[in-house]
Structure 1
Amino acid sequence: MLGLGSGGAAKAPKQPSFVSYLTPEEIDVKEKVEQAVKVDDVLLLPGEMLLCEASNIFKISQDEGSQRGVCGRLVCTNFKITFLCEEGAEDSFPEFKNKIVGENDITLQCVDQLYAVYDDKKKVLISGAPLKKQPERLIIYCKDFRVFHFCLSYAKEDEVNRIVNGIVHHTLSPKGLKLIFLFSYTEAAPCYKATSVKDMTVLFEKHKDWRMELERTKGNLVYKVLSVNEEYKVSERLPPYFVVPVALQDEYVYKFQGRGIPIWCWSTQQSGALFKMASLPKEVDDSAIQEQKAFLASVENTLHRPPLEEVRIEDLSITLPSLSEIQVAYTRFKQLFLIDNSTDFWDTDSKWFSLLNTSNWLEIVRQCLKKSIEVIEYLENQKINVVLKEDTASDFCCVISSMVQIMMDPHYRTRYGFQSLIQKEWVMGGHQFLDRCNHLRNNNDGEAPVFLLFLDCVWQLVHQYPLAFEFSETYLTVLSDSINIPIFSTFFFNSAYQKDSHRQVEDGSTKQSRLLSFYSVWDWSVQYELKALTFLDNPLYVEKSKQEKIRKGVRSKHHRQLSLPLTQSKSSNKRGFFKEEPGPFIKSLLGKRISKLISASDEVPDNYRVFYENWHRKPIDFNGLILPHIEGPDICIWAQRHLRWIPEAQVLGGGNVAVTQKVLELMDEIKNLSELIERPRLPHPAYKENDVDGKRKKSVRRSSLYPFAQFHINCVRPSISTTTWRSWEAEDELVNRDDEDFDLGTI
């Protein structure tokens, strides 16, 4: 550690062999390396190129009142921004480490906001605005809530201008799709070979994948897999293969490029089926409207037969917030966690919950969970089918359909099942990751953290029912980080068509085209060592017993549902796919706001409330249906993801970490005792602590945000106002007083 006021400048390092300040369009994408190389102590991945750098940069500590920093170099490549500490300045390696992105690495896609500091005043940096003078500091806000402060006062002016302008340009300027590092890496990296880990995740890229899913859910007799879009002849939005009811004719799919038809998501023999549907184009011409009405009438007549006689339409564009509302809420929400220093943290402490409530983010999470429970009530209790309707069926349709399946199907609560679900509903379902994450920095209007909203909803379930999930909250956290790592194709395309159409590249030497083999994020061994992968699994997971799995050879009904009072079905003549007369329903599909018709009868809220309350009165079956608590206090902050870089928010030896580690210690003790019982004739050996036992016992004093953040012992400022303490004793005495030591043996 070096003091910023010491004035001690380190020896200037060797000038880089390749320094560039070029626009992405000027970089020759053909200049690639065949393997990871080291250029001036910068370890570069295949396809990674050094763009600019600056020496004598200080990474400033964010401790309260601290003016200390670590000296090093700030480097920008076409993949990341990285800070290289001087030799000997780095601490010991963390126990949980990412092999691709280190502690001081920021991928270009992970940069959220840039600020320059002039005379202790922050100024937002934007693309295309040149620096008027040399800034004192550079502040980088990251999408994973890390905040970096770099002091530039000791660096050369030309290097400062080059590095700051380079970072601003390569992180904030609009760029073309093929200029993302994903393509540079895939072209230069060795040929990708799928591992067994990836193979266990169903990608739903082939016809047989959908057939297997139909067989697993026992829907192969009622639904069929269509191949009409195999070469994207019908629609660039739809995947090559998808499932529809058997009665639906192929010609209906061609009519409006897959819009207006129910696409199957999931079903069981014991409950209704779940569909999603994209809205028809909004037309103003009378002839076009009449054509759409005729088309919808044909679909209705085709599906007016068992098992699709009772269907409810859920128009999510009316009942849930808009994309712009999600973006505004998340923008306010994330400001609570982008803390510049400890002083700012304590200054906002008294109004923190008020700011949290104003952001409205947790309320949106609650609305999504509530809507999912409402859909489950129709499927599970009333045994009717539900069609989720949205403009493109690729935003909230993905959120609600995924949450419903996770709550109802324990298969999707396993790690590989969950990954397969994301592939089916999000990747092949056409969620626009490229636009919603704004990876190209050219579509601010379409940016919205829909996938992060989904992960937050999943975390609420994991937090409330940890025994029901095979994966841990750490898994969800690293999955959210992987959205901004541009070496995996999973979260960097808007559709399967966009991915396939950009897969073909031309070899410069042979002039022949070849197909790129993109890396999948589900191969976690690319990011983590085998030892670190254990953090992704939930040791408390209650797996379904083998005996229960093979019993009767079919899916059993949910344990809780068997004891629920079923709501008496309403006997009415509302038959057909639409459940209402064709006129009103067709109008709803044509974009009319008829929310009263969608939530048709008065008994719907009562059905939902009775279903919800009765379920929570019964014992929990972790391998059956699970419903989250959705009252205000039950919706919590995903602390591990949002607070992991704020030392003041950590609890030493507390939180879920302490509880989990205690359970693991008990499990180890039971295992050791079981081994001793199985070997009664052997003399009892002297117990020797193994590595796992030692690791778990040492974890008793870990931070509550482990394994991401280590506890800082200097975080001692009280969380309550000091004005309350003055009546007890002097403020200075309280702050400076050491913790009292107690001898527990004498108590």
Structure 2
Amino acid sequence: MLGLGAGGGAAKSPIKPSFVSYLTPEEIDVRDKEQAEKVDDVLLLPGEMLLCEANNVFKCSQEEGSQRGVCGRLLCTNFKITFLCEEMPDDNTPEFRNKIVGENDITLQCVDQIYGVFDDKKKVLVSGLILKKYPEKLIICCKDFRVFHFCLTYTKEEELKRIVSGIIHHTLSPKLLKRLFLFSYTQAAPCYIAATTRDDTLMFDTLKDWKLELERTKGNLGYKVLSVNGEYRLSKRLPPYFVVPISLQEESVSKFQGRGIPIWCWSSQHGTALCKMSSLPKEVDDNTIQDQKAFLSSVEQTLHRPPYEEVRIEDLSISLPSLSEVQAAYTRFKQLFLIENSTDFWDTDSKWFSLLDTSNWLEIVRQCLKKAIEVIDYLESQKINVVLKEDTASDFCSVIASLVQIMMDSYYRTRAGFQSLIQKEWVMGGHRFLERCNHLRSNKNEAPVFLLFLDCVWQLVQQYPLAFEFSETYLTVLSDCINIPIFSTFFFNSQHQRDTHKWIEDGPGKQKEALSFYTAWNWSVQFELKALSFLNNPLYVVEKSKQDKSRKGTRSKHQRQLSLPLTQSKGSNKKGFFREETGPFIRSLLGKRISKLISASDEVPSNYKVFYENWHRKPIDFHGLILPHIEGPEIRIWAQRHLRWIPEAQVLGGGNVAAMQKVLELMDEIQSLKRKVKERPTANLPTLKENDIDGRRKKSVRRSSLFPFALLHITSFRPSISTTTWRSWEAEDELVNRDDEYVELGSI
């Protein structure tokens, strides 16, 4: 597919064969389909190669004991595993369709686990395993919670060996970075300059972007942009440009390669700032320790200057779980949604909530939201600068810093602002996407930190939908982009790694040329313009207009009462404000066990509970500060992402989707009535399109609660429940004796 290069513009040095188009995305999509390579009637993306295939493969239904399914071809390319059905394609095109990854496509990075069925016994298949006997069925579990069953009983033996060995090797074996499809696609895909309006997403790869952010937040009053890391002379971990306090000397920044210094994230309207800081190396000799103490003392003087400025160090390695705990919790959590058949779904129904509780995933989500509220309390209520501290300052520092900015700054609740935030705190912040997402199958340091962040954002979106310009569908699609290797956004550990690997040789002895990677923010690469509307929140502009009017007049007195959290979370061991004789940076150097013993009686308790309760008693300003509910029942399952492929979990004509559709229908009717009243004096009154409204209302009733992702078939339910209004009045005995109804959600 085609898309914009990194930064939303055209490539500086197009890779041969070069192609620049000034067409609209719709015209580009048509030409892209014509240019895509075809191998035996298989449509491939630019740079995609067919590696192996098998015929007479049966894709089984997930209904237990059912012989339902379709026959077709199973293929493996250097980009994806795909199943081509031999039956005639359905003419009903879904409203929301991805142009790159279809319903039967699995990118190689999206494969989580593969099982083989040998004589009705399931066995985990791993890389390097020598098979004496090949399975009669493959079960592929995906990272987006899809589960595919492929029966190979009728496949020829040679094709069976090739497809099984090929899939295992290309999905589970460790690989080199430049072997990712990202590089093949970027070299082969033509570049274009779209004729549409340029996206306002800041990439933070230039000095100008950082200065714009400083000016927008008024952070330029106390902070400055440094370019000391140009060409990565200082550190390979830091980006070429970053922001530090004005009083901090460049020599101090260079001494320990950027470690141990406060790096600016954001400034509030009160002038307080949020910073992050990585730890200094721990395994050092005594002389180096003395140098570190002197260095930290000098850095402390730039921030902690009572009574003018106060600073608090939040050591996230103490107050939040470790990465291994996050990974273990997510491993338990995802097993609840990798449902292989309907029987497994109903068998776990009675113990589902207990399994959810023991996974501890939602508790970790709650802890992150709680920590963000504590940081906001210091910034907003107590007017104190906060420095988030972590070993690399690129995991939980990115999570908490991003959540704080989303809650306090309404700009980051717009689509362009949210994308700019991810670029600033995650991409340029050096989050190790390759390692944390395990894209290279090294199985080292894997932890779904970015997915944890998106889950926290979803909690905010579902509690305050009117405050966000983007929808929950946007977040769900963004979580899928992590495993689509045509965008560079989530496939590097640092900006240095991205810049180093973008250079290629056009041939022996020829000059190197730079690749222009595509970014996840080029949404037209994946979706048509009609489908892009699902990424926007239609009520956001309405609410913004309402808030603008309310600021001019008297605000409504809407009082809300909240209870304290139902589950007591462990308190932070970090001390409060730092005493003059022992600075925060030096104390952080002493280690966890020693720091707990120093000035324990001098700890200033956090007032976040008072701050939290007081805020929830005030009227809501959806374009001001928002704080989430963090009581146990308020932290919920991200159903649209986690349950979207389970037919039994879908509610026909119900859920948030149905409620939203009703609101949109009312808005349509109101707009139509306004036009009718406005045009009443004219001779020819336009007729109100009642048929269109009625058709839209009927269509919304038949939509699933997990729309627009509910594309599977509901074959049966247990127990049998009527899903139509008129049948709900039937006699009870007739309801019990009637066969389960068959509903195809894809045609809704």
TM bracket (short chain): 0.7 to 0.9
Are the equivalent residues in 2 in contact too, given 1:279–1:591 (CA < 8 A)? no
Shift of 1:462: 0.4
Aligned to 2:493: 494
User: Could you list the runs of 5+ residues in structure 2 that have no partner in the other structure?
Assistant: 1-14, 19-31, 560-575, 722-731, 742-748
Task: Rate the CA distance shift 1:439–1:597 in 2: closer, same or farther, 3 A.
Answer: farther
- Distance in 2 separating the partners of 1:661 and 1:599: 55
1:51 and 2:48 aligned: no
Task: Rate the CA distance shift 1:214–1:633 in 2: closer, same or farther, 3 A.
Answer: same
Shift of 1:130: 2.2
Superposition map of 1:256-275 within 5 A: 256-270=256-270, 272-275=272-275
Are the equivalent residues in 2 in contact too, given 1:647–1:715 (CA < 8 A)? no
Q: 2:232 aligns to what SS in structure 1? A: coil
Aligned to 1:20: none
- Distance in 2 separating the partners of 1:739 and 1:37: 44
Are the equivalent residues in 1 in contact too, given 2:578–2:584 (CA < 8 A)? no
Q: 1:604 aligns to what SS in structure 2? A: coil
Task: Rate the CA distance shift 1:584–1:265 in 2: closer, same or farther, 3 A.
Answer: closer
1:436-492, Cα deviation, whole Å (9 max, x unpaired): 0010001x2310000000000000000111111110000000000000000000000
Task: Rate the CA distance shift 1:58–1:503 in 2: closer, same or farther, 3 A.
Answer: same
- Structure with the larger RCO, 1 or 2 (CA within 8 Å, 6+ apart): 2
- Distance in 2 separating the partners of 1:600 and 1:672: 67
* Structure 2 counterpart of 1:698, one-letter code: K
- Distance in 2 separating the partners of 1:51 and 1:145: 25
1:517 and 2:516 aligned: yes
Give aligned-pair identity as a percent.
77
Superposition map of 1:378-389 within 5 A: 378-389=378-389
Task: Rate the CA distance shift 1:132–1:230 in 2: closer, same or farther, 3 A.
Answer: same
1:496-526, Cα deviation, whole Å (9 max, x unpaired): 0000000110002772210000001101000
Task: Rate the CA distance shift 1:304–1:652 in 2: closer, same or farther, 3 A.
Answer: closer
Are the equivalent residues in 2 in contact too, given 1:336–1:356 (CA < 8 A)? yes
Are the equivalent residues in 2 in contact too, given 1:192–1:517 (CA < 8 A)? no
Shift of 1:94: 1.8
1:14-53, Cα deviation, whole Å (9 max, x unpaired): xxxxxxxxxxxxxxx9999994111112111110000000
Are the equivalent residues in 1 in contact too, given 2:147–2:339 (CA < 8 A)? yes
- Distance in 2 separating the partners of 1:431 and 1:521: 16
Q: 1:220 aligns to what SS in structure 2? A: helix
Aligned to 2:168: 168
> Could you tell which deviates more after superposition, 305-314 or 57-66?
305-314
- Distance in 1 separating the partners of 2:105 and 2:196: 29
Task: Rate the CA distance shift 1:703–1:584 in 2: closer, same or farther, 3 A.
Answer: closer
Task: Rate the CA distance shift 1:681–1:89 in 2: closer, same or farther, 3 A.
Answer: closer
Are the equivalent residues in 2 in contact too, given 1:300–1:577 (CA < 8 A)? no
- Distance in 2 separating the partners of 1:733 and 1:652: 21
Aligned to 2:718: 717
Aligned to 1:249: 249
Q: 2:629 aligns to what SS in structure 1? A: coil
Q: 1:154 aligns to what SS in structure 2? A: coil
Are the equivalent residues in 1 in contact too, given 2:276–2:387 (CA < 8 A)? yes
* Structure 2 counterpart of 1:326, one-letter code: V
Shift of 1:734: 6.5
Shift of 1:587: 3.3
Aligned to 2:444: 445
Shift of 1:89: 5.3
1:368-392, Cα deviation, whole Å (9 max, x unpaired): 0000000000011001010000000
1:303-329, Cα deviation, whole Å (9 max, x unpaired): 344797200000000100000000000
Are the equivalent residues in 2 in contact too, given 1:504–1:516 (CA < 8 A)? yes
Aligned to 2:744: none
Shift of 1:591: 3.8
Shift of 1:579: 5.2
1:271-300, Cα deviation, whole Å (9 max, x unpaired): 521000000110341111111001111112
Are the equivalent residues in 2 in contact too, given 1:50–1:77 (CA < 8 A)? yes
Q: 1:470 aligns to what SS in structure 2? A: coil
Task: Rate the CA distance shift 1:212–1:191 in 2: closer, same or farther, 3 A.
Answer: same
Q: 1:718 aligns to what SS in structure 2? A: coil
How big is the alpha-carbon RMSD for the aligned residues of Structure 1 and Structure 2?
Answer: 3.1
Aligned to 1:155: 155
* Structure 2 counterpart of 1:705, one-letter code: L
Aligned to 2:483: 484
Q: 2:637 aligns to what SS in structure 1? A: coil
Aligned to 1:19: none
1:531 and 2:530 aligned: yes
1:547-572, Cα deviation, whole Å (9 max, x unpaired): 959999xxxxxx999xxxxxxxxxxx
Task: Rate the CA distance shift 1:577–1:321 in 2: closer, same or farther, 3 A.
Answer: closer
Aligned to 2:687: 686
- Distance in 2 separating the partners of 1:739 and 1:129: 43
> Could you tell which deviates more after superposition, 337-346 or 673-682?
673-682
Shift of 1:404: 0.3
Q: 1:533 aligns to what SS in structure 2? A: helix
Shift of 1:197: 6.0
Task: Rate the CA distance shift 1:480–1:195 in 2: closer, same or farther, 3 A.
Answer: farther
> Could you tell which deviates more after superposition, 65-74 or 473-482?
65-74
Superposition map of 1:667-678 within 5 A: 667-678=667-678
Task: Rate the CA distance shift 1:734–1:119 in 2: closer, same or farther, 3 A.
Answer: farther
Aligned to 1:658: 658
Are the equivalent residues in 1 in contact too, given 2:300–2:585 (CA < 8 A)? no
1:705 and 2:706 aligned: yes
Aligned to 2:146: 146
Aligned to 1:627: 627
Task: Rate the CA distance shift 1:282–1:688 in 2: closer, same or farther, 3 A.
Answer: same
- Distance in 1 separating the partners of 2:178 and 2:229: 25
Task: Rate the CA distance shift 1:602–1:229 in 2: closer, same or farther, 3 A.
Answer: closer
Aligned to 1:8: none
1:333-380, Cα deviation, whole Å (9 max, x unpaired): 000000000011001111101110110000000000000000000011
- Distance in 2 separating the partners of 1:107 and 1:56: 22
* Structure 2 counterpart of 1:513, one-letter code: K
Aligned to 1:341: 341
- Distance in 1 separating the partners of 2:600 and 2:405: 22
Q: 1:99 aligns to what SS in structure 2? A: coil
* Structure 2 counterpart of 1:273, one-letter code: A
Are the equivalent residues in 1 in contact too, given 2:46–2:189 (CA < 8 A)? yes
Aligned to 2:420: 420
- Distance in 2 separating the partners of 1:522 and 1:307: 44
Task: Rate the CA distance shift 1:197–1:708 in 2: closer, same or farther, 3 A.
Answer: farther
> Could you tell which deviates more after superposition, 431-440 or 92-101?
92-101
- Distance in 2 separating the partners of 1:198 and 1:359: 43
Are the equivalent residues in 2 in contact too, given 1:243–1:264 (CA < 8 A)? yes
Task: Rate the CA distance shift 1:194–1:223 in 2: closer, same or farther, 3 A.
Answer: farther
- Distance in 2 separating the partners of 1:340 and 1:547: 47
Q: 2:230 aligns to what SS in structure 1? A: coil
- Distance in 2 separating the partners of 1:112 and 1:502: 26
* Structure 2 counterpart of 1:44, one-letter code: L
Are the equivalent residues in 1 in contact too, given 2:300–2:584 (CA < 8 A)? no
Shift of 1:230: 1.5
Aligned to 1:332: 332
- Distance in 2 separating the partners of 1:42 and 1:306: 69
* Structure 2 counterpart of 1:480, one-letter code: S
Are the equivalent residues in 2 in contact too, given 1:505–1:514 (CA < 8 A)? yes
- Distance in 2 separating the partners of 1:139 and 1:711: 17
Aligned to 1:454: 453
> What's the TM-score, normalizing by structure 1?
0.86
Aligned to 1:22: none
Task: Rate the CA distance shift 1:732–1:266 in 2: closer, same or farther, 3 A.
Answer: same
- Distance in 1 separating the partners of 2:133 and 2:236: 48
- Distance in 1 separating the partners of 2:395 and 2:87: 47
Aligned to 2:397: 397
